[in-house]
Structure formats: C-alpha cells, structure tokens
C-alpha cells in the first residue's frame, strides 16, 4: 500500500545513503557504484600488466605509469625549489601576526607573548580627564548622538547598513568631535591621523631625519568585517595588545637599539577597538624588551573592556507578538563611553 506522496513520484528521505526512487508505483533500488579493487602487492612477485600491449586487457593488472616530464619548462606547472633549499630558509620558525590572525587563547596568549601584566580599568590620569567637566565638549551628548545617527541612519541608503560602512563613519565623526578641542589644547595640532598603515613600513619611513611624527599615540582598530572574519571581543582585545606591543617595540629599537634590555624611559601607546557599538580601551606601557625569561620587570596593560556607546540604533522598530520590543531610532546612549574616548584623545595634551 503506497502513500499519497509515493504515488505522485516524490522520493522519501532515508538515513541510508542509498536512494529509493518511486516511479509509476514501482520501487527501484539505486545501486551503489562498484568500488575498484585494491591492488595487492606481494613481495618478490612482479604482477603481469598490460603495459606492453598498450591497451586494456581483461585479467591483467593495471600498470603503474611513470611521471610524465615535459621537455621544456611549463610556466603553469613550474615546480619551485623546496623550502629547505631556499636561501632565506631558517631552522627556527617565525610566526606572523597580521590583521586577520586570531589568537586561540585570546588575551591570555597575548599577555604571554608580550610578557605583560593586565590591570583592570584605565590609568587614573586618564580617568581624571574623563570625569572632569572642564574637558567636556559643548553640547557633548547631543553632538555624539548626531554622530551616531549620521553613521547608522544617514550615511547609507540601506535600511540596515552594513558594519563596513557605518563603523568607519562613526569613528571619523567621533574623532572630528575630539579635534575641535584643538583651540583649547594647542598640543593636539602636533598629531596626525594615518589610516591602513603597516608597522614595518611606517617605521621604516619614520627612520628618516626630520620626520615630524615618529611615535604612535593612539591606535584605532575598527572591526568592520562581517560573517566569518568578524572578531569577537576577546580576539579583538588580543589583537589590540599585539599591535600596540608591535608599535612600542619598533619605537624602543629605534631609541635603545636591538639588544634586549630594561628601558630607561617606558614607552606608552594607547589603543581603541570597536565594532561600531562596543568599545574596548587599552593602554600599553613597554618597560622591557627582554622577553626570553618570565622573571624580572614586566610590561603593563590597562584594559577597560566592553563599553557600550549605545544599545540599539534601529531604522525600523522590532515588533514581536504585536509588542514593540526595540523602538526605532537611537536608544540606550552612554555618555561615559565617549568621555573615555575623548580622555584618551586628550591624554598627553592636557
């Protein structure tokens, strides 16, 4: 007795890999393709093949064909030298950390690689700037809300703009708000903004005489990628540690040479990481370049993590069961987060 689905020619789903096809009330079992028998090699016994016949002969074994070598050099199938034969080959491996690299153990692994000690929160001198009303911008909260609205609602024609569009726009607007403090703090005019730079290339060009910006003050890491390449907060914080350490180490080698040592004057570099909504604040102080042993003076890291600038920024409300769960527009703005952003920017010029 066949079901209705079987009579109209719909194949049911089974857990076995074999498929049962139903056609005109008949059940046909699909046959699996026959596997090719494995070659059995007996030591001391040479199999008889059809190599001399130059065509397939039933009952004779299949010969092993030698690798064909072209007389001339084929540019599409060129075989380069082995790694061991290359002139720059080293027995000791070198691991590269780049923009898309993610540390498996996150911050713990970054602390071990940089020989650093983690301190929760920001340094007191930065917190004092963030909490002092004298350093606030006129109509600060209203201007920050306008910057968020510009990035989330007005800078893109889509109803739900992607992170790679609104995240850089938000950072540019927030930095513009910080730059308007230059008349009050003239030392801010001695800084510049470099985008998409590499540490090695930047410091090689900054090894020239008279370069006006030899030292990185604050790194802004924008995680605007989507899907698989998106960094979660923990790998993003590890990435911030690695890049601030790289910048500080490059500067230390310029000032104190290549020999590992305890620095006479520590080098401090700040970093802000964000995905357009969640902010991570970090201050790295390089005290030593001697990273071989775990003993002695260590580098210091101040980390203030998972600071929300706002909760939601929706063009359309989120409605579930005829109830508005999240209203349209900007909601949940936190002025403390931008105060810390501004304090890191003003640090060193106040």
Q: What is the pLDDT of residue 258?
A: 86
Residue 12 has a pLDDT of 38
Q: How far apart are CA 123 and CA 126, in angstroms?
A: 6
Which has the minimum average pLDDT: 13-17, 222-226, 242-246, 342-346? Answer: 13-17
Rounded distance between C-alpha atoms, residue 213 and residue 228, angstroms: 36
**DSSP assignments along 250-299, one per residue:** HHHHHHH-SS--EEEEEEEEEEEEESSSEEEEEEEEEEE---S-SSS--E
Q: How many residues does the chain have?
A: 350
Query: Per-residue pLDDT for 32 more than 80?
Result: no
Look at residue 121 and tell me whether its pLDDT is greater than 70: yes
The secondary structure of residue 226, as a DSSP letter, is -
Stated as kind and residue range, the H or E segment containing 236 is helix 233-256
Cβ atoms of residues 270 and 347 within 8 Å:
yes
The pLDDT assigned to 302 comes to 96
Nearest to 220 by CA among 266, 162, 178, 264: 178
In the chain, domain spans: 1-33, 107-346
Q: Are 19 and 31 in contact (CB under 8 A)?
A: no
User: Residues 310-320: pLDDT tens digits?
Assistant: 998 888 888 89
**What is the rounded average pLDDT of the residues 285-305?**
91
Q: Which of 344, 331, 337 is nearest to 308 (CA)?
A: 337
Cβ burial, residue 141 (10 Å; 0-12/13-18/19+): middle
Query: Does residue 209 surpass a pLDDT of 80?
Result: no
Number of C-beta neighbours around residue 127 at 10 A: 16
What average pLDDT does the segment 133-154 reach?
91
Q: CA dihedral in degrees (115, 117, 121, 126; nearest 10)?
A: -70
pLDDT tens for each residue of 68-98: 777 777 777 777 888 888 888 888 877 778 8
Q: Quick check: 287 pLDDT over 90?
A: yes
Q: Retrieve residue 6's tokens.
A: 């079987």
- Rounded Cα gap, residues 270 and 284, in angstroms: 6
Predicted TM-score of the model (pTM): 0.68
* 181 against 100, higher pLDDT: 181
Residues 6+ apart with CB under 8 A from 98: none
Query: pLDDT at residue 149 above 50?
Result: yes
At residue 120 the predicted structure's pLDDT band, cuts being 50, 70 and 90, is very high
pLDDT at 3: 41
């Amino acid at each position: 007795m066949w079901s209705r689905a079987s009579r109209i020619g719909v194949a049911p789903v089974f857990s076995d890999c074999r498929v049962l096809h139903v056609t005109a009330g008949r059940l046909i079992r699909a046959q699996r393709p026959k596997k090719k028998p494995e070659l059995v090699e007996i030591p001391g016994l040479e199999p008889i093949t059809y190599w001399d016949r130059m065509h397939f002969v039933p009952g004779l074994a299949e010969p092993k064909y030698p690798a064909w070598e072209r007389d001339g050099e084929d540019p599409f199938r060129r075989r380069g030298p082995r790694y061991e034969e290359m002139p720059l080959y080293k027995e000791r491996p070198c691991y590269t950390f780049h923009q898309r690299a993610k540390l498996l153990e996150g911050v713990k692994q970054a602390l071990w690689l940089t020989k650093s000690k983690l301190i929760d929160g920001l340094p007191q001198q930065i917190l004092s700037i963030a909490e002092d009303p004298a350093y606030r911008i006129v109509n600060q909260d209203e201007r920050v809300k306008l910057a968020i609205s510009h990035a989330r609602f007005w800078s893109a024609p889509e109803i739900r703009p992607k992170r790679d569009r609104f995240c850089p726009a938000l950072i540019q607007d927030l930095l513009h708000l910080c730059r308007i403090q230059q008349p009050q703090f003239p030392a801010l005019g001695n800084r510049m903004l470099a985008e998409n730079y590499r540490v090695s290339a930047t410091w090689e060009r900054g090894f020239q005489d008279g370069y006006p910006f030899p030292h990185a003050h604050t790194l802004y890491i924008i995680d605007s990628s989507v899907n698989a390449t998106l960094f979660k907060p923990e790998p993003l914080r590890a990435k911030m540690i690695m890049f601030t350490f790289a910048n500080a180490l490059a500067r230390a080698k310029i000032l104190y040479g290549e020999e590992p040592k305890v620095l006479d004057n520590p080098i401090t570099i700040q970093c802000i990481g964000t995905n357009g909504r969640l902010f991570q604040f970090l201050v790295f102080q390089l005290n030593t370049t001697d990273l071989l042993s775990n003993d002695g003076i260590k580098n210091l890291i101040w980390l203030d993590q998972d600071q929300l600038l706002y909760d939601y920024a929706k063009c359309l409300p989120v409605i579930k069961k005829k109830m508005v769960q999240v209203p349209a527009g900007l909601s949940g703005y936190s002025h403390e987060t931008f105060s810390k952003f501004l304090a890191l920017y003003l640090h060193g010029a106040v």
